[in-house]
Amino acid sequence: MGRRLVPLTLDNLSDLPTRCRSCVFWELDPVSGRAAVEAGRPGAEKESWISAVLLEWGSCGRVVYVDDVPAGFALYAPPAYVPRATAFPTSPVSPDAVQLMTGLILPGFQGQGLGRVMVQTLAKDVLRRGFRAIEAFGDARWKEPACVLPAEHLLAVGFKTVRPHPVHPRMRLELRTTLSWKEDVELALDRLLGAVQKEPALRPL
């Protein structure tokens, strides 16, 4: 079974689930988001956001493929690029962290460890860019796939609660902890990611 993780770009945005590639929950503030939906422009706004972040900051997501079939994705960016974050009761995201906005492993590919591999890949990318942590707003009452990730899942892949809340706790993953996982886990991840093409070195902004 071939697995690979590649940066999200406008070229592979179409590999995201239909509802996700036209969702602007995180990319716009609540008022602008509603206006985009009412005007029938959420897809265009999503493309515009990804394009702007790619130009100014670089890759803001990963797509995972299993035997060349899209199996899941994750979106992340510094909090300055995530307008919706300020609407949460446990904001703001810490200045030394990148925000994990959302992500999904599609049915049929769950239970294979892809979520954990995704987080590990994101952690290495974010650390390389000079950040110390990844933070996310969790959904403590999660029942079905949505824009806010389930708090229980975030805990399962290593996040810790830094600001409790009955609905939307803010959670944090310290990168030095993530990257010092047990050696056997690290070796397994290296084998899993061995076929992934090396990304070019990021140019300083």
Q: What is the DSSP string of 107-127?
A: TTSTTSSHHHHHHHHHHHHHH
> Are the C-beta atoms of 25 and 17 separated by less than 8 Å?
no
Neighbouring residues of 196: CB distance < 8 A, sequence distance ≥ 6: 4, 5, 6
Q: What does each of the 205 residues of the chain score in pLDDT, given as a tens digit?
A: 688 999 999 999 999 999 999 999 999 999 999 999 999 999 999 999 999 999 999 999 999 999 999 999 999 999 999 999 999 999 999 999 999 999 999 999 988 889 888 888 998 899 889 999 999 999 999 988 889 999 998 998 889 999 999 999 999 999 876 655 444 444 544 554 444 434 433 333 3
pLDDT at 156 (0 to 100): 87
> What are the two backbone dihedrals, phi and then psi, of residue 86, each rounded to the nearest 5 degrees?
-70, -15
Measure the CA–CA gap between 64 and 140, rounded to whole angstroms: 26
pTM of the model: 0.84
pLDDT at 176 (0 to 100): 76
Angle at 154 between CA 150 and CA 160, to 5 degrees: 125
Angle at 146 between CA 141 and CA 148, to 5 degrees: 65
pLDDT at 177 (0 to 100): 64
Nearest Cα residue to 49 out of 16, 14, 75, 86: 75
For residue 23, how many C-alpha atoms fall within 13 Å in the half-sphere facing its CB? 15
**Six-digit token string for 24:** 């602007």
